[in-house]
Amino acid sequence: TFEDIDLFHLIGVVCGLAIYNLTIVELNFPLALYKKLLKKTPTLEDLKELMPDVG
């Protein structure tokens, strides 16, 4: 079985290969991830999307 770090690495490799090969892949990441990529601070509303019971 995959450990968490191995799974994250695999997802990163797949995303990198898609970008390298100019392939469009529909990935439904949470809004908080896109905000982090744009160097914006995620909000409590973004946390609610990920974990409704915590947010």
Decide: residue 23, CB within 10 A, 0-12 exposed, 13-18 middle, 19+ buried: exposed
Task: Please state the domain count of the chain.
Answer: 1
Q: How far is the C-alpha of 50 from the C-alpha of 28, rounded, in Å?
A: 12
Q: What is the pLDDT of residues 5-51, one digit of tens each?
A: 888 899 899 999 999 999 998 888 888 888 988 999 988 888 888 88
pTM over 0.75: no
User: What is the span of the domain harbouring residue 37?
Assistant: 4-50
Whether 41 maps to a domain, the answer reads yes
Whether 20 maps to a domain, the answer reads yes
Whether 55 maps to a domain, the answer reads no
* pLDDT for the residue numbered 30: 87
